[in-house]
């Protein structure tokens, strides 16, 4: 049938009916809140490019986690700012590492929380790259050893899931191997499988103090022009043992989320990254957009593209709207 017998607007006049036929349902269960932990006590350093976000010492991080859980968001993703750094990121592999100590402290205070631990070296190396530098480039295979040690240390501290974000070839296999050898076979891996070399990471690098001191990350993060290559990256990570695969960033890569969900029978995460967050905040502060409306539209689009899990700095704000 065609117009006038068929009128699609009939499904839009009544708000109850609109909700009944909604094809995409965004839920607080989909959301993960990223948080930044730093040394000290009673430290709450504002992140200037990410309004409402802070570097938090462990005592205040616990309070923040309680607020996150109270909003209905049950999972956090932790990034660490260490007291000192080294050439290889070894400081992230010890039991007294900043994230390891944070995990232990949070678990003592909060029962109903799921902690995702980012696995990478950029926050912990003096040069800001994601691994050991040989001949002015990150050496893939040497970096795997550090990533494996870091992963084991985070698992021993009580991390619920590990999320390697470095984009080294073979790192999921190396992490899965060391976890299984040490009886952590129940801990899943959520790999940053298709992580692009993106300009949207700028505010995060301020937050995590992780900007590279020289060059860029083009030799290990993906070319934004490539889609088929992303499917190869995802497939390799699945074959190496990834339980969940991630696309990062989200908003400019909805097609990659869609392809990943359609081509592989596996849970898909998407990272609504700092630059995407900060653009909404900046435009909202100038009253150029309805901030909350745009926020929810973006998150719904990520869900509609196929993401099962959405990591976003909007998590608590979105949860408060969803809970209304």
Active site positions, annotated? 195, 248
Residue 36: CA atoms inside 13 Å, Cβ hemisphere, count?
Answer: 24
For residues 281 and 51, give the distance between their C-alpha atoms in angstroms, rounded to a whole number: 7
Dist CA 250 CA 230 (whole Å): 13
- Calculate Rg over the CA atoms of the chain: 20
- Tell me, letter by letter, the H, E, C secondary structure of 167-186: CCCCHHHHHHHHHHHCCCCC
Instruction: Give the whole-angstrom CA distance, residue 298 versus residue 32.
Output: 15
Each residue of 201-217: b (16+ CB within 10 Å) or e?
Answer: bebbbbbbbbeeeeeeb
Contact 301, 55 (CB under 8 A): no
- Calculate ∠ Cα 140-141-142, nearest 5°: 95
Bridge partners (DSSP) of residue 268 are: 245
Are the C-beta atoms of 163 and 117 separated by less than 8 Å? yes
Tell me, what DSSP letter sits at residue 13?
S
């Amino acid at each position: 049938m065609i117009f006038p017998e068929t009128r699609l607007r009939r499904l839009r006049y009544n708000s109850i009916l609109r909700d009944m036929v909604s094809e995409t349902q965004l839920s607080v269960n989909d959301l993960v809140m990223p948080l930044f932990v730093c040394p000290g006590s009673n430290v709450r350093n504002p992140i200037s490019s990410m309004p409402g976000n802070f570097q938090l010492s462990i005592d205040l991080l616990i309070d923040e986690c309680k607020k996150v859980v109270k909003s209905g968001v049950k999972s956090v993703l932790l990034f660490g700012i260490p007291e000192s750094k080294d050439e290889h990121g070894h400081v992230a592999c010890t039991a007294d590492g900043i994230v390891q100590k944070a995990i232990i402290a949070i678990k003592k205070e909060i029962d109903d929380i799921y902690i995702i631990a980012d696995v990478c070296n950029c926050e912990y190396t003096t040069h800001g790259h994601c691994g050991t530098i040989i001949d002015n480039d990150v050496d893939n295979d040497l970096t795997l050893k550090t990533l494996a040690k870091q992963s084991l240390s985070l698992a021993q501290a009580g991390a619920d899931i590990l999320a390697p974000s470095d984009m080294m070839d073979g790192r999921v296999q190396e992490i899965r191997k060391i976890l299984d050898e040490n009886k952590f076979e129940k801990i899943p891996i959520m790999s940053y499988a298709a992580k692009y070399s993106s300009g949207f990471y700028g505010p995060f690098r301020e937050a995590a103090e992780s900007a590279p001191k020289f060059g860029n990350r083009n030799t290990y993060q993906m070319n934004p022009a490539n889609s088929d290559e992303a499917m190869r990256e995802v497939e390799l990570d699945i074959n190496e043992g990834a339980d969940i695969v991630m696309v990062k960033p989200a908003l400019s890569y909805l097609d990659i989320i869609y392809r990943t969900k359609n081509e592989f029978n596996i849970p898909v995460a998407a990272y609504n990254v700092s630059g995407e967050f900060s653009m909404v905040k900046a435009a909202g502060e100038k009253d150029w957009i309805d901030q909350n409306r745009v926020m929810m539209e973006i998150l719904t689009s990520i869900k509609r593209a196929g993401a099962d899990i959405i990591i976003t700095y909007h998590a608590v704000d979105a949860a408060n709207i969803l809970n209304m």
